[in-house]
A and B are shown apart, each in its own frame.
Chain A
Amino acid sequence: MFSPTILIPAIINGLLTGAVYALIALGLTLIYGVLHIINFAHGALLTAAMFAAYFAYHQLGIDPYVAAFILAPAFFALGYGLQRFIIGPASHGDDRNMLLVTLGLAVIIENALLYAFRADTRTIDVPYAFQSIDFGFTFLAVPRVIGFVAVFVVALVLWLIMSFTDTGRAIRAVAKEKLGAELAGIDVAHVYAMTFGLGTACVAIAACLLIPTYYVNPSAGNAFVLVAFTIVVLGGMGSVPGALIGGLVIGVVESLSSLFFGESLGQMGIFLIFIAVLLVRPRGLFGAQA
């Protein structure tokens, strides 16, 4: 019913959007894989990072892509601190408490942002925002292409960290067998905090990739996190490649279903997948066998 001239751009567009979803899901799945908690503060942290990127450009004139190199370590430290000094101690060793603490953090962060910056929507106008590459059959906006490439670079770096560094090995050990890792002398509280930091750094980078084409207000992050939850389930809880591929799949599904069923129902496609995966393959595409 649609000609390839619209179908192919729609698929490409879905991949571009999906890549950013994937990055947000990457942080979420990492934290889930190791700490076994759903981080409800993920959306609020994304919003906070978008505000940070906004102000970096607006006040200091730092390009969002440059700001990513500053914000990623900054948010890594923030995430580390949150887990080490707030979420961890406040949960008293109980995973369910941890979940509630992240929920509480989300409420606090969102309302603090609302108090500080009001509900006003903010956007930045980078000089390349409206530049697009002409592929003959379609135009691709430069910031979205940059975002797509950046996500794969981040995923590669993350994979290298997880595979070849002591921290990565310790994270994997804790994820597999917490007690065993502790007995082997791994500082679990430190590893938890490192993981949370990495997850938060992913969100900070995602924020920098989003801000040139999107907007920020105190609830902007929520729109992405619901999708990220679906991706984590689709890809398999705790699976890094799962998050990456899941993100791309969800991006394309969203784009195509909004093409065929209309934008209002396009969102439904995502959540139908969510339910179908839970019913048919609860461990997701790449999830470990329970």
Chain B
Amino acid sequence: MSDQKIPFSRRQFLATTALGAAASIAMPSVLRAAAAPVKLGVLHPVTGALSYSGTQGRLGAMLAIDEINAAGGIKSLGGAKIDPMLGDARSTPAGGTAEVEKMNSAGVSCIVGGYASSICLATTQAAARYNLPYVVDVGVADSIVKRGLKNTFRFGPGFGVIAKTALDNLVTINDQAGKPAKTVMIVHEDSLFGSGLAKLLNAQLPGKGFKVLETIAHPTPTRDFNTIVLKIKAQNPDIVIPADYYNEYVLLARTMLQQHVRPKGIYSVLGGAASSYKFVKEFPEAAKGIMDCNHWFNPLSAKAQALKKQVEAKGQFFTYEVYLNYSAIGLVADALERAASADRAKLIAALASSTWSGHIMPYGPTKFVNGQNQGAAPCNTQVQDNDIKVIMPPKFANAKPIFPMPA
């Protein structure tokens, strides 16, 4: 994947701005007729360890920008087009901050993206120094919106909401099935994401009637899951809760199938592969019946389904990075429309008062409190009939949960 930074040397910059200035003096009316485009920073980790997610995120953002521009741009700004300035965070917070500096100098009105929590924490803060509005695309760490930064907005849900929803829904699903599950085993990767989740589950599950038999941590990458699966087999839990990144998640699920380990349910929270079309397509047998609580689009939205087709036609998978970024750009466009200005302060005010409902997520109209969209929530999905179905919340569900899994 090539790095698509806009090559723009100081000389070129001076030359074009000088020309532009000269032109605007010479023929001001012509320039005013075609509205000046709104510069928008699109920042993702498109190289390094997170490059797959970053590239997917960029795809979602660009699809939204192309769509908005094709539909006539920002109407309140005289049909101004959105002019994306692409940035590469190189999978590190430092890389992200450097791009924010560049984008600020280039005069962007707003930045969208970041992807990883660690990057978002750094980039939002860097942007805050310039009062530059920043819309976080994914970054689920709760601290991102809890530092009192006026410029920072998150359209999607944070970790706390996701974990709470996941636990509540697990209880609901188990209750509806007549409480067949009493014991769980947690398999998690040993960095902040997996360990944090395991700790939270260990604290909460006993109070909800589940006994945690064992919690197994493993590093990323882990080459072999046979020992872990042997342990699962020996303990024979009703539910296995994996909290891993994609590769390890797939290896674990495949090894469980090889070792004929079939618990009543596999239930994950922000599971690396559990709600991934790639996993379902490549290993339908291993993915069958897996439940996940994760970011998901509104399956009942026709617009979402159309976008899914569009992404799949490009030979890409419709991953959460795509639709979260697509939505984040839509949110900014809506704010620009209402602000009728590309001014940063006015845009922040417009974002803060946003009540946007034209999106494809199961969130309802936006309502920001301290930068967090209050309606944002995850969905519970399950792999059924070689597809990923939404089973919770009932309002957006397109299937019923299958639990316990048939032996």
Contact = CB atoms under 8 A, between A and B. Distances in A.
Interface of A: 2-3, 5-6, 9-10, 13, 17, 114-115, 118-121, 123, 125, 129-130, 132, 139, 141, 213-215, 217, 223-224, 254-255, 258-259, 262-264, 266-267
B51 A130 contact: no
B246 A141 contact: no
Contact of B227 (A130, A141, A255): A255
A290 to B, nearest CB: 32
A3 B52 contact: no
Nearest to B233: A6
Contacts, number: 97
Contacts of B205: none
Nearest to A254: B224
Given A132-B259, A132-B260, A215-B247, A263 B228 contact: yes
A258 B227 contact: yes
A264 B219 contact: yes
A84 B195 CA distance: 49
Nearest to B49: A119
Contacts of B51: 114, 118-119
B230 A10 contact: yes
Nearest to B187: A263
Which A-B residue pairs are the 5 nearest by beta carbons? A263-B218, A119-B51, A141-B258, A13-B226, A258-B227
A12 B230 CA distance: 12
B234 A263 contact: no
A110 B84 CA distance: 30
Contact of B216 (A118, A213, A262): A262
B5 interface: no
B258 A115 contact: no
A3 B234 contact: yes
B231 to A, nearest CB: 7
Given A121-B52, A121-B246, A139-B260, A17 B230 contact: no
30 contacts: A2-B234, A3-B234, A5-B234, A6-B231, A6-B234, A9-B226, A10-B227, A13-B227, A13-B230, A17-B226, A115-B1, A115-B2, A118-B1, A118-B52, A119-B1, A119-B50, A121-B250, A123-B250, A123-B283, A130-B257, A130-B258, A132-B259, A139-B260, A141-B259, A214-B223, A214-B251, A255-B227, A258-B228, A259-B230, A264-B218
B256 to A, nearest CB: 10
A13 B233 CA distance: 14
A17 B251 CA distance: 14
B144 to A, nearest CB: 24
B258 A132 contact: yes
B217 A130 contact: no
A21 B154 CA distance: 45
Contacts of B52: 118-121
Given A13-B230, A130-B286, A263 B260 contact: no
Contacts of A13: 224, 226-227, 230
Contacts of A125: 282-283
Contacts of A263: 216-219, 222, 227-228
Interface string B203-234: 00000000000001111011110111011011
Interface string B235-272: 00000000000110011001101111000000000000
A223 B226 contact: no
A129 B254 contact: yes
Contacts of A267: 219
Contacts of A254: 224
A225 to B, nearest CB: 11
A6 B230 CA distance: 6
B190 interface: yes
A121 B56 CA distance: 14
A126 to B, nearest CB: 11
Nearest to A267: B219
Contacts of B47: 114
Given A264-B218, A267-B219, A259 B231 contact: yes
Contact of B251 (A115, A215, A258): A215
B142 interface: no
